[in-house]
Structure 1
Amino acid sequence: MKAEVMPWRRSAATPVAVLLAVAPAMAVLQFRTMALAVTLALLAAVVTHRLARGAWPWPRMNPVAWLAVALLGWCGVAALWSPEPVRALQTIGGLAALLGLALMTARALAEEAAGRRLAFALAGGLALGLALAALDHATGNWLRLAVRGFPEMPAISFGLKPAVSLMVLLLPLVVAVPMAWALRAVLLAAGLAVALWLPADSAKIAAVAGLVAAGAVALLPRAAPRLAALAFAAFSLAAPLVFAFGLSQAPSLEPIPRSAAHRVLIWDFVVDRIAEKPLLGWGMESSRAIPGGSDTFGVETLDRYGLNSPEARHWFGLPSARRLPLHTHNAALQIWLELGLVGALLGAALGAAALLAAGASPAGFGMAVSAVVTGQLSFGVWQPWWVASVLLAAVVAGALRKT
């Protein structure tokens, strides 16, 4: 069916465009609203398509979609031996709903010539979100404190990290916005500058990686996606061995920020737990309930990593410095830990297939690489707001490919 331009009120792109225009700003104020907002926008897009065309936009399944379904299926199997079976089933249900809505919305947008609408909503939303993030950071988080009624929250600056991660996820898509190169360059430079300025190290790396990847696929359209897919699959499958070797060679962690040192110690704990159940894992959503995960690190571990100062001993003695707080801060290790070798094989195949598919455009490939980098350094694999954000970006990338 040939794509056609639909009136705004009858276009499935309208709810998605509205969300793109407000999502970055919304994430600055409260990033957890992203899961609900994306769900409602995708649902509205599907219903709008049904009302306008008289038929549901059933998904067109491709290798990426089938692999995602297979991974969710294995998650369902792994819920059988999970210490958190109810939470596991709830998570699987939510992720399945998000995936289904994303695939249906992608089909609906494919039947419309809506790329320009989405592109300009994306550019405007990013500009607003970057401005609000910069304003909040420059004023000592006054904006977000005001939204919350000025509570006593000394660590609220850390809360900008999810918002910046969302914006650097969307930032490479600016390459596909049909406006003057100078304007695109200004928006890309502003996004990179804000990411490098704000306190979110993983977002800094993801921002640079995403833009470099977009440039790489423009220069090497066939080689870059293939190399990225191969590297991702190899790392995902070898992650426990890679981390075990790297951690054995690690220098003293005393000079680096405590949050970064904590992440290294978490990986040390997780690698040992993976070795105990490498084939099937501990079960879906088991990261929250791994034996010993709620304990703090022993003196022997701190000594091994050179964390000997009184300040370090105090920091790692706090209840917040647990050996495994909710998730592993690395997607590959979390999948190995919870789903074992079977899950690692499916996750590696899914990520590789997604990178190959995204390589059809510089914007989409940059977005995919940004998502991969963030996933390997920050959030949990199953966090609803992050999964929703990645699916939204993927749907938009597919629609922008036609612009």
Structure 2
Amino acid sequence: MIRQASIVGGASERPTPWLGGVAIFVVVMTSLLAYLGPLGFAPLMALAGLLCLPGLRLTRAAAPPLLILVALALWAATSMIWSPAAIDPSTLKDYDDIEALTALKLLLQLASYGAAVVALRGLSERSAERAGMILAYGMTALALLVVIDAFAGATIYQQFRQLTGVPIRADLALVKVSTATYALALLIWPVTLILWRRNAPRAIWVLVAATLVASKIVSSDACLVALVLGSVAWLMVRYGGALGPRVLVGLVALPFVVAPLAVLVGVETGVIAWLHKLVPASWDARLNIWTFAADHIQTHPFRGWGLDASRTFGAAIPLHTHNAQLQLWLELGAIGAALAGVFFCWLAYAVVRTAERSRGEAAAAAGALVSYLVIGALSFGVWQEWWLALGALTLIACGLMRFGSRPDGENLVKLTPLG
């Protein structure tokens, strides 16, 4: 018998078999790609966006964050006018050349990833519950596999590569396995809530313990920091009363405002020099990159050096700054940093609205948001396709936890402003 329509996000629920099938495809592939090849998140989300087009219904709530991202992408494209990384259009001859056009890719990713996120917010309750359950147990199995393979020195991953005819050294295999911990660090928050609502405490213990242990074994320091600070955000929102979620908005905004100044002050006061003596080589290199980036931001503080300019400074900045806020300031200036900051503050403010109705969902969303920002501030380039795709997947996962049994009587609520 067809379920009686219910109110979800202000609209009458309707069966969504097509979107439900897309959601199941996405969550199954998420667990597989996190282990086998995280770079596959980008084509996965691009395909998901195309598949979601028949069920896409733009809402008024989705407009503001999408418009912010459109403005950011257009400003990034405009900055190619003065970027030292600008490519002469006459040299574009084949697909590999076009692949180097970051500005074009940003616009295409926004269209496809955005379509997937917005469309899958419209899942029926039955479809969302099913997809959420598959994601939850899939990520739990992933965590267990990663921790086992980490203890085994990535021998399982090596055997897989051997079967595919592309062997890999043990040390490189362990690096590949470690990449799965980033997906775990982001998705652990909504997945834990889904499992709790399904009365699966053992699965929660396996997920949390395996994620922490695996991150430690494979030296995913950024994941460990993200899990710690994500837990602080979770506690602050879950038990911080009305003030906790509002404090989160300020904390999210702060790095986008003061990142370059904080590094320069650290240099002037000797804090950076003091840290150089304490941290291991990888973090020592980050301090050098951050210092160089902060110093060069002063040259073009308003407009920045231009999109992809980070790649043009040679050994001083290998590929990117390893800090999202500094990269935005360096490449897109105050305008780009402000636009990105407004977008993430919009998400943080959505946590405030969510907390008024569902503390559990708000806390989980806060943990995921902070974890994404922390990892982005320590590890990856802002424009890496798979990392942007994983962010979109995290938004989708947060949408899935809106559904399911609620032993605490929580109401349905929008977890992000994309609902």
TM band (smaller chain)? 0.7 to 0.9
- Could you say what secondary structure the match of 1:377 adopts? coil
- Could you say what secondary structure the match of 1:329 adopts? coil
1:2 to partner: Cα distance: 1.2
Partner AA of 1:338 in structure 2: E
Q: Separation in 1 of the partners of 2:280 and 2:136?
A: 34
Paired residue for 1:237, among 257, 273, 279? Answer: 257
1:83 to partner: Cα distance: 2.4
| Structure-1 residue corresponding to 2:150 | 137
Confirm or deny: 8 A CA contact 2:77 2:104 kept in the other structure: no
- The verdict on how the C-alpha distance between 1:140 and 1:175 changes in structure 2, with shifts beyond 3 A counting, is closer
Deviates more, 1:35-44 or 1:268-277: 35-44
Q: Separation in 1 of the partners of 2:86 and 2:23?
A: 33
The normalised TM-score by structure 1 is: 0.83
| Structure-1 residue corresponding to 2:3 | none
Query: Deviations along 1:212-255, whole A, 9 cap, x unmatched?
Result: 32232121253223212212212211111101122442216245
Confirm or deny: 8 A CA contact 1:114 1:399 kept in the other structure: no
| Structure-1 residue corresponding to 2:402 | 401
Confirm or deny: 8 A CA contact 1:16 1:42 kept in the other structure: no
| Structure-1 residue corresponding to 2:234 | 214
| Structure-2 residue corresponding to 1:392 | 393
- Could you say what secondary structure the match of 2:12 adopts? coil
**Structure 1 position 148 matched with structure 2 position 141:** no
Paired residue for 2:178, among 143, 156, 161? Answer: 161
Q: What aligned pairs does 1:170-249 form with structure 2 within 5 A after superposition?
A: 170-177=187-194, 178-180=197-199, 182-183=201-202, 185-186=204-205, 187-220=207-240, 222-247=242-267, 248-249=270-271
| Structure-2 residue corresponding to 1:127 | 140
- The verdict on how the C-alpha distance between 1:398 and 1:62 changes in structure 2, with shifts beyond 3 A counting, is farther
Segments of 5+ residues of structure 2 without an aligned counterpart are 1-10, 88-100, 355-361, 405-419
| Structure-2 residue corresponding to 1:338 | 331
1:137 to partner: Cα distance: 1.3
Paired residue for 1:351, among 327, 330, 344? Answer: 344
- The verdict on how the C-alpha distance between 1:198 and 1:24 changes in structure 2, with shifts beyond 3 A counting, is farther
Q: Separation in 2 of the partners of 1:378 and 1:358?
A: 25
| Structure-2 residue corresponding to 1:318 | none
- The verdict on how the C-alpha distance between 1:197 and 1:179 changes in structure 2, with shifts beyond 3 A counting, is farther
Partner AA of 1:24 in structure 2: S
Q: What aligned pairs does 1:282-361 form with structure 2 within 5 A after superposition?
A: 282-289=305-312, 293-294=313-314, 322-359=315-352, 360=354, 361=362
Partner AA of 2:294 in structure 1: V
Deviates more, 1:147-156 or 1:377-386: 147-156
Partner AA of 1:382 in structure 2: W
1:200 to partner: Cα distance: 0.5
Deviates more, 1:204-213 or 1:387-396: 204-213
Q: Separation in 1 of the partners of 2:109 and 2:82?
A: 19
- Equivalences, count: 362
Partner AA of 2:234 in structure 1: A
| Structure-1 residue corresponding to 2:37 | 30
Partner AA of 2:107 in structure 1: G
Paired residue for 1:3, among 10, 13, 17? Answer: 13
- Could you say what secondary structure the match of 2:148 adopts? helix
| Structure-2 residue corresponding to 1:97 | 111
The normalised TM-score by structure 2 is: 0.80
Partner AA of 1:15 in structure 2: V
Partner AA of 1:3 in structure 2: E
Confirm or deny: 8 A CA contact 2:321 2:327 kept in the other structure: yes
Deviates more, 1:243-252 or 1:32-41: 243-252
Q: Separation in 2 of the partners of 1:379 and 1:222?
A: 33
Query: Deviations along 1:292-349, whole A, 9 cap, x unmatched?
Result: x21xxxxxxxxxxxxxxxxxxxxxxxxxxx3201111111000000000111211221
1:199 to partner: Cα distance: 1.3
| Structure-2 residue corresponding to 1:301 | none
Partner AA of 2:57 in structure 1: P
| Structure-1 residue corresponding to 2:57 | 57
- Could you say what secondary structure the match of 2:265 adopts? helix
Q: Separation in 2 of the partners of 1:271 and 1:337?
A: 8
Q: Separation in 1 of the partners of 2:308 and 2:241?
A: 37
1:387 to partner: Cα distance: 0.5
1:5 to partner: Cα distance: 4.5
| Structure-2 residue corresponding to 1:312 | none
- The verdict on how the C-alpha distance between 1:108 and 1:80 changes in structure 2, with shifts beyond 3 A counting, is farther
- The verdict on how the C-alpha distance between 1:340 and 1:76 changes in structure 2, with shifts beyond 3 A counting, is same
| Structure-2 residue corresponding to 1:115 | 128
- Could you say what secondary structure the match of 1:85 adopts? coil
| Structure-1 residue corresponding to 2:95 | none
Partner AA of 1:13 in structure 2: G
Q: Separation in 2 of the partners of 1:103 and 1:92?
A: 16
Partner AA of 2:185 in structure 1: V
Q: Separation in 1 of the partners of 2:202 and 2:170?
A: 37
Query: Deviations along 1:132-167, whole A, 9 cap, x unmatched?
Result: 211221221112222333334644423333311111
- The verdict on how the C-alpha distance between 1:343 and 1:155 changes in structure 2, with shifts beyond 3 A counting, is same
Q: Separation in 2 of the partners of 1:211 and 1:11?
A: 35
Q: Separation in 2 of the partners of 1:334 and 1:372?
A: 13
Confirm or deny: 8 A CA contact 1:70 1:346 kept in the other structure: yes
- Could you say what secondary structure the match of 2:380 adopts? coil
